[in-house]
Chains A and B, each alone.
Chain A
Amino acid sequence: MKMPEPDAGTLARRDAIVAALAAIVPGGVIDRPDAMRVYETDALTAYRQMPLVVVLPETTEQVAAVLRWCHAHKVKVVPRGAGTSLSGGALPLADGVLLGMAKFNRVLRIDAADRVAVVQPGVTNLGISQAVAHLGFYYAPDPSSQIACTIGGNVAENSGGVHCLKYGLTTNNVLGVELVLITGEVVRLGGRHLDAEGYDLLGVVVGSEGLLGVVTEVTVRILPKPASARAVLIGFATSEAAGDCVAAIIAAGIIPGGMEMMDRPAIHAAEDFVHAGYPRDVEALLIVELDGPPAEVDHLIGSVEAIARAKGAVMQRVSADEAERLTFWAGRKAAFPAVGRISPDYFCMDGTIPRRRLPEVLTAMREMETRHGLRVANVFHAGDGNLHPLILYDANRPGELERAEAFGADILRLCVAVGGVLTGEHGVGVEKRDLMGTMFSDVDLAHQQRLKCAFDPDGLLNPGKVFPTLHRCAELGRLHVSGGKLPFPDLPRF
C-alpha cells in the first residue's frame, strides 16, 4: 500500500501553516511530535503516518475557516472522529492537516414527538442511545465499536451493526447533516423531515469516507426500544447446514433483529475469553435474536427453533432471561478482542457475499490458509452475507504482514468473484483501495470520481483513500465527443 508522495512545498511551509491554523483555532493546534503520536494511526494499525499538524476545532465557523484557509493554500485535510476505522480512513498524511472532530461532543436537541435527535459529530454512537434512553428510545445502528466510535465517523463510513438487517445501516437512519465544503461554504442536507427533494446529496455524503466534506452536525432518527428481545444459540455440524438454516428463516418471512454466525476458531476464541457457554464441538454457531412485542417474539422463537431442527441443528438454547441473552451476545461482541488474545495481530476483513455461496467461500478460505501459511477465524453477519474473516498474523515476524495483506486481498477478490462486494460496512479507505478495480471498471470509477469533482475538484479532502488512481478533474471532465462522430459501435473507454 503506497500513499501519494507528500508535497515538498507544503512540508517546507509547515511553520507558517501551523501559525495560520493556530490563529484560526486558538489553543486547538497540536504540532509537537510526541503529542501528535496518538493520531498517527486508526484501528488499522498496520499503517502509521505522522500528520503535518493536528487541529481540533470546536465550532462550525472554525471548521469553515480552517477548510477555507486550506483550500486557498492547497493544503490537504484528513477528517478524524474517534479513529476506530478498520480501513485506514483516518490515516494521516505527512503533508496534510489532521482535523480532529472530538470536541464536537454535544447532543443539541432531542425530539421525542418527531423521533429525531440532533447531535454534533463527535458524540459517540452509544452516547446517542444513552441520551435518549430515558424517553424509551435508542439509535438503531450498533457497530461493535459503539462505545468509542463517533456518529461523524459512522456517517462517513455508513457503519452497520448486528441489528442492521432489520433496522438498516447508518444511511437509513440519518435524516440530515450540516456539511462544510472544502471552500468553507456550509450546506444543510436533509433535516428533521423525510426525503428532502433535490439531489440526494445526503445519500452520497453518508459513506463518503471523509472525501466530500466535513460533517459538523447530524440529525438521526431514533426508535422506540423494542418491548422485548430473546436470543437463541443454534449449533451445527457444518457451515452448509447453518447457511441453509439462515436461508430458511428468511424464506419463512422472518427478519430477525440480529442473526450472527461464527466458525469453530471464532467460537473457541470467544468461549475461552468470555465463557458465554458456546458449544465447542460444532463447526458453526448461530445467534438469532428476535425482538418486538413479547407475543411476537415467543411466536417467532418457536418458528426459528422448528426451522433449525429441520435443518439438522445439533444444539439449541433459548435465552431464559435478559442476563442470558446478554451472555450469548458477550461472546460475539468480544470476538475481535478474543482473537486479539490468541494472536499478536489480526486483520479484520469485511466482504459481503450472496449468502448461498458461503460454503464454497469458507472452503476456499481454508485452502488459502494453507497457501498463505496463516490462520483465519470467521464471524459473519449471516442475515445479510457480511463476512468478517479475521486473519491472524504477527507483525514482528518478517514477511507476515505482507502475507496477511495478500491473504486478505485474495479473500476480497473471492467475494467479488462470487457476486459480492469488497466491503459491507468498514469502508474502502486505504485497505481496499487498490482492489476497487476488481469490482468496478475504469468507467464506473470515473463516474464516482466525478462526484468528488463536484465537491472537491482539487482533491484536498482525504486524498489517497478509496480511489486507486487520482485522476485530475479536468481530465475526467473532458467530453469524448469529436466532430459529431460517435464513439460507437463499442462502448467508450478511457
Chain B
Amino acid sequence: MPFSLLKYGLRARHASFRDIPLTPELKRSYDVVVIGGGGHGLAAAYYLSNVHGIRNIAVLEKGYLAGGNTARNTTTIRSNYMTEESIRFYKEGVELFETMSRDLGFNVMFSQRGQLTLAHSEATLRSFHLRAEMGKHVGTRIEVVDVQTVKELCPHLNLDLGGQHEVIGGLWHADGGTARHDAVAWGYAKHASERGVEIHQRTEVTGFERAGDRVTHIKTNRGTTAAGQVLQAVGGLNGQVAAMAGIKLPIRCFPLQAMVTQPLKPFLHILVSSANLHTYLVQSSRGEVVIGGGSDPYQLASTRSTLDQKEHLAEGALHLFPFLHKVKLLRQWAGITDMTPDYSPIMGASPLQNYWLDCGWGTWGFKATPVAGKRMAETIASGRVPDVLRPFDLRRFDSFALLNEMGATAASH
C-alpha cells in the first residue's frame, strides 16, 4: 500500500465530497435546460459542459437521478442493426463505451464479450447474412457462424437437435457488450456537475410558456425558469412531454419487462439471444443471469409486471439453458418504453426553434447513451444537426423515409 494512502486513511479529518451535489434552488434562467435526468440527458449535459464550454445548464428530473429506463434496462450494447444509417450511428456509440471508463475516470464495467443471436430456421439465417454484410460494409465486427462455432462460443447451450427450436447457426457480433447502467449515468452526472451543471431531482416539468415558435419558460413543480435552449429526453413519457410543448410525436407507450436470477458461478461468457424464443440472456458481473425479451402485447403507461410475460421469459431461458430450472428469481421489473413506428429514435430539431428532441428510444436506447448525448450536445452548441443524426429527423415520417429496425434482434431491441 502506498504510504500516502496509509497517511490519508489515518488522518482524522477527511474532506468529504459528493459525486453529485444536492439539488439547489431553481435559478431564474439557464442557457440550456435539459428535461429528463436519465442517461441521455446527463450525457448531453456532460458534453455541453465539458466539450462545448456551456456551464449555465439545468437538468430537470422528476424522480431520482437516472431512475427511469436507464435504471431498468438489460444493458445490451451493440451495433448489429439493419440499415447503414443506424449501424453508423450505433457503431459510434459502441466505440464511446470502449473508452468510457478511462474518459470519465469512473468504472462503468464495460465488458465487450460479444453477442450471439441464434438462428432456428433457414429464413432467419438468410436475414443474418444481410445484416452481416451490411455490418461489415460499415466496419463493424459481425459474421454468420455455423453450429460448431455456436457450440464453441456457448458450450452450455441446448442446441435442441432434432427439436422444434433446433439451432442451425448464429450471428456473431464481436463488438457487442454490456456495461453497468447506473455507473454510466452517475459518471456523466459527476463530471457535468463539476463543471457547474445543476442537477435538479424531484423537479417535474409541468408545462411551457411559448412566444411564437420558441419556448421561453419552463414550468415545474418547484417554480418557473427561463431557457435559452431546451433538450427533451424523458424516456417513456416523451410523447406526453412533447405534447405539453405543442409537438406531436409518433410514439406509443408499451411496457417492457425483465428479471434477474440469484447469482451463479460464471458460466455464460457472451450475450446470447434467440429470435424464435423472444428471449435474451446475459450474466452480470455479480453472477446474476439477466433475462429480457419482447414488449408487452398492448399499449400501457405503467410499470406493473405480468405473470404472462415473466413466464414467457422463464420459458425461453429454460429452453436455452435447461439446467437453470431450479434457480430462483431475485428481482423483476418493467419500464415504460416510447416506441416509434420504425423502431428507430427521433433525434434533432423539432417544429420549435429552440427545442431539441432526443426521443423515441423505446427498448433500445441504453447503448446510444454516449453517442446521443455527444451528438445532441453538438447540435445544441452549434445550432446545426450533424450528418450522422440527420436520418433520425422527426420529419422522416412525413416523407416516408423510415429507418426500419424492427426485428434487428431477438426481441424488438
A binds B: no
